Structure formats: C-alpha cells, structure tokens
Structure 1
C-alpha cells in the first residue's frame, strides 16, 4: 500500500521541465512568449537566407510577418515588423548573390508588405487585441445571436422553428430572432435592423442583447415600448428597426401579436387550410418617443400555424410588399401542406431576396 502511494505521488509530482515551463509562463505573459517565438523564427529565417540564398529567397521573410499579423497584438506587431525589416536590411548587403533588378523588386515588395501590416496594426489598436483573437470575439458574438433565436423546449403538441439568412451569405445579418419561455407563456420577437448584412451586423449585435433581456423580463404589453425607448436613447444615424412580437399561452393557444412597422404576421386556420394576414399597427422602433403598440389577439387551435418574417422574404425594389406577402403565402400553402416539421427551412430557401437579410419563424399547434 505504501509503495502504491509513493508511485501515485511520483506520477503527480511535476517534472523539472514542467516546473520550469510553469515558472516561465508565470513570469512572461502569453503575448511576450509568442513575440519571442516569432522573433526566433525571423532570426532563423534570416540565417537561412544568408547561408543558403539559392534555396531560401528573401521573400521567405514574409512567413514570420504573416504569422505575427495573426498572433500579435497591436502594441507588439509594429516592433516586430521593424525588427524583421531591419534583419532584411542587414541581409541584403551581406548575401553572396548579385544585387539585380529582381532582388531590388523583392526588397521593395517586402518593405511595402511590412508597411501594410503596420497600418493594419494601427487600425487594430482601438480594439486592443490580435487579429485572430478579435475574429474569435466576433464569432462568439454571432453565435450568441443565433442562440438567442433558438427555440426553447416546447410541449409535444407544439412545433416551432426559426431560420436566418444574411445578404450575400455573410455570417452577420441585421435580422434576428429572440425568444423566451416562462412556464406556459412563449414570447418571440422577429426583428429587422435598418441596413443589411455586415453593415447592420454591429447594430444587430447590440440590439439583440438588449431585446433578449427585455423579452423575458417584461410583461408582453410593455416589450415593444421598452425596445422603442432603448433605441431612442442610442441616437444612431440609422437608428430604427422593425419588429413583430408574439406572445402565446401554450396551454390554451391564446395569442397576442404586436407590430412595430413590420410586415404582418400570417395565420393558417386548419379548418379552411387558408392563410390570412394579421394586421397589427405601430410605428417602427426608434422613430417616435413614447409610442404605443396595440395587439391583435386570437386563439390557435390544433392544426393552426403562425408565420412571422422580415421584409427580405416579401419585398423587392420593383414589387409592392403586399404582393410579395401573397406570393409567400401561396408558396407556404404548397410547401407546408401536411408537413410543418422542417417547413421554415424549406420556405426560406424557396422564396425571398438573396440580396437582403431574411428571417422566418414558424409556429404550429399539432
């Protein structure tokens, strides 16, 4: 037993190399370690350019500079570029290669490349993080938007799905969906921020976080008014958004829909099999202070379905929006007949402008 304890202790005790690495990590920040490794790579590349110029050209110095632009922060990147170009300046005269027009052109291109990297680092200084880390932050924010639009778990007699497509296929969009469930009450908002694609993405990031908190914290009648007050305080140049808010009691099917300058929701009544629009009126968010939003109320019975969407699904420059709504509902009647599961994805792929953001939410009571 004693021998087993000693063996386990020996395995758990860190080795001398591990203790040295741990001490080094505690003494040097991560950025400093990366800077040192890249500087070593630049030095090794310089030695190879000097010793074997026929096999390692001057342009090999691009490799450490590209890695530095991806890994180093804006404070260290300019210094690294300066040191790399200094190594290059020393290498050119001592290399045992004729200084011809091709070599001069390579040196000029390398210096121009270093200058471009330095300009990029100066632009990055307002963010304060390295390129890859800044991109990962944006990806994380985008994923949070998508998670807020995910449907909570619903009772078996209900089906809901949301789909989002951005203009040009980019990862960021001005349309988004936020949801919240409190007991038997489901609240959903489909929002369209002014602009499209990446241009509206930053405003959508901020607004989705705010609305995601409001939709689960306020009574249904106060949600759009609070969202309007929030946008009024932002004072954006393109400071408006449209939204449609649905609140439904999952036990009874009783619903209330409020709209803020948004295309009308659509209801399919199982008894007739036809779609009809639900006209709820109200000004867009961020335009009129202290705006009020009236509700259109009704009851979803088994077999009924509701469709919420943004104008990218129905609007084109050369067509009235209501004609687009009629076209969308005609396709919905065809694509969703008898099978609502997966219907949101089928509908958003079949209709809508590829040059505009599109969001769609489908709610069906089985």
Structure 2
C-alpha cells in the first residue's frame, strides 16, 4: 500500500505530523534499500551520471588530447557494463558512439596527432563495449543484482565457512578443522557440519563430506548439502543420519549427485565413539599408550548411489579416545596422488602427524595440509579431535 499524506486528526500538533512524516520517509528508504540489493531499483541515476560523463570525456579529448586520448571513452563504457542493465547500456553505447563521431568530425578527416580518432580507437572501444554487453546480459539472465551482485558469491562462501565451524568443547577436548579448495579457489566440495547433541549436549556429532567434483563445480552442491546435513544432524538418532542423507541425495536427481561422508559420534564424558561411513576414507587414531596409529574403517555405500531400502547398510566401527589420543579424519584429496595408492598416502599423513606431536597440537590441521597435500589439485579437508 503506497504511503500517502496522513489524514488530519483533531488536536494534531506539528511535532506529531513531523514524526509521522519521518516514519513514512524511513519506510520509503528501507524499501528502496531492499530494491537496491535485489536489483529491482531503477538504474537511472547511474545512467544519468555516465551519460553526463560521455560528453565530458569528449570535450576533454578535444581540449587536452595528450592527457585524454579518444580511447578514454572506454571509461564510461566499462563503468556502464558494471552498473547498468542491458537496455540502459545500449543507450549509453549509442551516446559513446555519437561522441566519437563528433570528435572525429571536429578534428577533421585528415587531422593528425594524439587526439585523432583512428579505426583502432573504434575497435578498442567497441570490443570493450561488446564484452560489457555480454556481461550485463549474463547478469540479467541469471538474475544477479545489477549492482553488487558479486557480494552474493562472497555471502555463499562465508555461509560455508560458518557452517563448518566446530562447536565449543568442554575442558580437555579439542577439535580443529582445516579446508583448502582445489586450485586456490574460494569454493570446495569438501565440508564439515558439527553439533553438540544428546542429553546435556554431551555428545559431539561431526560429519565430514566430500561431494563429487571439486572447486567451483562442487561448491554449489556442497552448500546445499551442508545446509541439509546440518538440519538432519541432531534431529535424528545417529544411525539414521546417513540413510536420511542418502535419501536426500537420491531425491535431487543430480547427474553427479554422489558424495562420500563419515559420521563421528563421540561421547564427551567417556571418550567412546562410533564412526559410520558412506564410502569414505577410514579414520585414523593415534593411541598415546602405544604411540601407534590404528585405522578405523567402517563400511557403507556412497551417498546418492544405492537406495538403502534395497539392502545397503552403513556399518559403524567403535573406538575409545583416552587422554592423549588423537582421531584424524580426512578427504581423499589429502592422500590421493597420481602413482600413489591410498594406503601409502595415509601412511605418509600419519607419519607427518607424528612429527607434529609435542607440547601443543594446536594448528596441526593447517600444517598437515601444507606439508602433505599443498600442491595437490583437489579439495582437501582434515579434521582432528584430540583429548588432553
């Protein structure tokens, strides 16, 4: 409903009318801000500013050709590609072409010097304009806001980071998670969801998942799955989580819809834990008493491949974390490499972890990625849980 003038009321004071006017103004500004973010707001202000800049650049080119060559027309053209809708951008391009034509006519067909409009100038400005128009059309087609659309990708990346945070643990318990996407990208197909569940929140449940694909290709699916897994975690008994996650993936119908996952259920009072796996790498536990590593391998099918109602089951493996013990979970990017099998990669990872053992184990997750899998072109994720 549009804001109209407030009806007069008997006894109204000028102060009351001012307050109502300010309230209406705030509502209009708030709606304008929402439209601005969504991309629904008009772009006439940006168009007017750039349309004014075009003749200004043309005048400066005629007056100061050494400082403002004709190719300076790419400035409003490039700014328009970033700020305007395609329809407004075409009008701006028409104004820029007219300005170049006027510059050429005023300089004369046989003019020479830095202010001359050459065919190369037209080609440079035209090429940048064509690229900008393609960018604007793509942005309009996918529905990205015409201003600040890049912030959407930043927001998605930050949501993945927030969902991967480990909850605070009681005294004596520590957990670290480190993740590095493939190729230095911002998005990864590996992710972690974790929550304190059970009576008095004395159970730690962590799911480490690896979505098929890597980097940007898997980032969108990882974001969707991390939200779904986070909603399931703690809402279902531990043994029902992986079957429910498997059903969720099957319902998506993705062509590359499979994922591996390992589900850790840890009792923070006793140190007893259970690992349930969906086609994931085994867990690795270092026992303080013996100083040796033990491989904890659970069995289960990949998520999104088989319907568990047809007989596929997720069989867990149990263990105990005593004081000084460390449990390590990782994705295959940490141990896979051309010409090397998984067993060899896991042995190397456990050996490097042994070298980091000392008075403080904090920060070891990042150091292990840097040492073992720094140059591998795959998403890498590592989770460490240890007890003082």
Shorter-chain TM-score tier: 0.7 to 0.9
Does the Cα contact within 8 Å between 1:303 and 1:365 map onto a contact in 2? yes
Aligned mates of 1:197, 1:63 — CA distance in 2: 33
Matched, 1:169 2:184: yes
Aligned mates of 1:274, 1:148 — CA distance in 2: 33
CA RMSD of aligned residues (A): 2.9
**How many corresponding residue pairs?**
352
Does the Cα contact within 8 Å between 1:190 and 1:243 map onto a contact in 2? yes
**Aligned counterpart in structure 1 of residue 141 of structure 2, from 126, 139, 142:** 126
Q: Which segment drifts farther, 71-80 or 314-323?
A: 71-80
Matched, 1:237 2:290: no
Relative to structure 1, the CA distance from residue 91 to residue 173 in structure 2 (aligned partners, 3 Å threshold; closer, same or farther) is same
Does the Cα contact within 8 Å between 1:305 and 1:365 map onto a contact in 2? yes
If the length of structure 2 is used for normalisation, what is the TM-score?
Answer: 0.82
Stretches of structure 2 lacking an aligned partner (at least 5 in a row) = 1-18
2:297 maps to 279
Aligned mates of 1:166, 1:254 — CA distance in 2: 32
Aligned mates of 2:283, 2:100 — CA distance in 1: 64
1:267 maps to 285
1:359 maps to 381
1:326 maps to 347
Matched, 1:140 2:155: yes
2:55 maps to 43
Matches within 5 A, 1:279-298: 279-290=297-308, 291-298=312-319
Does the Cα contact within 8 Å between 1:280 and 1:296 map onto a contact in 2? yes
Stretches of structure 1 lacking an aligned partner (at least 5 in a row) = 1-11
Aligned mates of 1:64, 1:216 — CA distance in 2: 54
Matched, 1:346 2:367: yes
**Aligned counterpart in structure 1 of residue 169 of structure 2, from 154, 176, 180:** 154
Does the Cα contact within 8 Å between 1:247 and 1:257 map onto a contact in 2? yes
Aligned mates of 2:145, 2:64 — CA distance in 1: 33
- Post-superposition shift, 1:302? 1.4
1:106 maps to 121
Aligned mates of 1:192, 1:32 — CA distance in 2: 46
Aligned mates of 2:180, 2:103 — CA distance in 1: 52
Aligned mates of 1:338, 1:220 — CA distance in 2: 34
Aligned mates of 2:355, 2:147 — CA distance in 1: 45
Q: Which segment drifts farther, 73-82 or 253-262?
A: 73-82
If the length of structure 1 is used for normalisation, what is the TM-score?
Answer: 0.87
Aligned mates of 1:208, 1:44 — CA distance in 2: 51
Matched residue SS, 1:125:
helix
Aligned mates of 2:88, 2:234 — CA distance in 1: 44
Aligned mates of 1:193, 1:99 — CA distance in 2: 62
Aligned mates of 2:86, 2:265 — CA distance in 1: 47
Aligned mates of 1:78, 1:262 — CA distance in 2: 52
Matched residue SS, 1:247:
strand
2:326 maps to 305
Matches within 5 A, 1:140-219: 140-182=155-197, 183-219=201-237
